[in-house]
């Protein structure tokens, strides 16, 4: 009697192999992800530790020097074996303040700012944009300091019988508005006498007023009138005197004029 033997082959089917490969791929991805997280966390921890060390060195420097001059990277060589550096972040000192750039391409912020080191270990794309600013040419023309009107004071004192004060006005441009005032201190015996001017055509109105111990003489260019360029004129303020000689050094004058679109005021004493 012949006995037949059956041979059983042991192994994995194709489906089973595919399942194993898929599971191994998932496990590999999980490991890589976890390792990446650990690396980033390590960079953040190192950033905080190194920044704290530098900050302690700055405090020691300030205690010894009073903080003047401000601490710099070079001035901390006596307090640190070496200044920390890393491709994941940058520590610097600005006016004695520890600054963190995490990652190194980020804008530095002061250490102590919330999450200052949180970007350590991350990869930030660096984009450099160069923009050529438009060329702008600005030409500034300084306005003239004068409108071309000048005023010259003169006076005559008639001892104790009064006197006369004058303002001579000249102009290189046409005057379109003008007010002239003369103030005479009403000392003992001084009273208003008269006023006049030499400008042509009666273009100035005249008025006077005595108030607060001052006799005021006013001359105003009439509306819609103008004084041609190159002209000159004089205004006169006369006063009576019965007593001591009047001290004209206390009398004042003022000329406000508009010419060539510019308004200026001139003042002085006699």
Domains, the chain, ranges and CATH?
A: 18-110 (no CATH), 149-269 (2.60.40.1530)
Q: Are 196 and 130 in contact (CB under 8 A)?
A: no
Residues with Cβ within 8 Å of 244's Cβ and at least 6 positions away in sequence, in order, are: 160, 187, 188, 189
- State pTM to two decimals: 0.48
Q: What's the rounded Cα separation, in Å, for the pair 264 and 223? A: 18
Sign of the alpha-carbon torsion through 66, 69, 72, 74:
negative
Q: Are 49 and 98 in contact (CB under 8 A)?
A: no
What are the tokens at 15?
């489906």
How many residues are present in the chain?
270
Question: Quick check: 7 pLDDT over 60?
Answer: no
Question: Quick check: 175 pLDDT over 90?
Answer: yes
DSSP one-letter code for 121: T
Which of the pair, 251 or 33, is modelled with greater confidence? 251
* Per-residue model confidence as pLDDT tens digits over 202-214: 789 999 999 888 9
Phi, psi of 195, deg, nearest 5: -150, 155
Q: What percent of the chain has pLDDT over 90?
A: 36
Question: Quick check: 67 pLDDT over 60?
Answer: yes
Average pLDDT, integer, range 7-19: 65
Phi, psi of 191, deg, nearest 5: -140, 160
Q: Look at residues 158, 167, 160 and name the one whose alpha carbon lies nearest to residue 237.
A: 167
State the average pLDDT for the chain. 82
Confidence band, pLDDT 50/70/90 cuts, at residue 74: confident
* Per-residue model confidence as pLDDT tens digits over 176-196: 999 999 999 988 889 999 999
């Amino acid at each position: 009697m012949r006995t037949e033997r059956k041979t059983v082959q042991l192994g994995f089917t194709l489906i089973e192999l595919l399942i194993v490969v898929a599971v191994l791929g998932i496990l590999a991805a999980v490991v890589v992800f976890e390792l990446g997280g650990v690396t980033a966390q390590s960079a953040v921890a190192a950033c905080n530790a190194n920044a704290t060390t530098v900050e302690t060195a700055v405090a020691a420097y300030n205690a010894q020097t009073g903080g003047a001059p401000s601490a710099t990277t070079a001035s901390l060589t006596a307090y640190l074996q070496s200044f920390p550096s890393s491709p994941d972040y940058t520590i610097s000192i600005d006016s004695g303040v520890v600054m963190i750039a995490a990652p190194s391409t980020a804008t530095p912020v002061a250490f102590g700012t919330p999450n200052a080191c949180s970007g350590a270990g991350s990869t930030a794309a660096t984009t450099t944009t160069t923009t050529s600013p438009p060329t702008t040419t600005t030409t500034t023309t300084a306005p003239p300091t004068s409108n071309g009107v000048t005023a010259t004071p003169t006076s005559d004192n008639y001892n104790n019988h009064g006197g006369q004060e004058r303002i001579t006005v000249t102009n290189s441009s046409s005057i379109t508005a003008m007010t002239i005032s003369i103030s005479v201190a009403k000392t003992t015996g001084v009273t208003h006498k008269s006023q006049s001017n030499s400008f042509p055509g009666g273009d100035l109105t005249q008025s006077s007023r005595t108030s607060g111990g001052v006799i005021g003489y006013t001359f105003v260019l009439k509306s819609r009138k103008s004084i041609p360029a190159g002209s000159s004129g004089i205004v006169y303020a006369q006063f009576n005197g019965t007593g001591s000689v009047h001290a004209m050094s206390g009398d004042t004058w003022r000329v406000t004029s508009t010419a060539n679109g510019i308004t200026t005021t001139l003042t002085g004493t006699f």
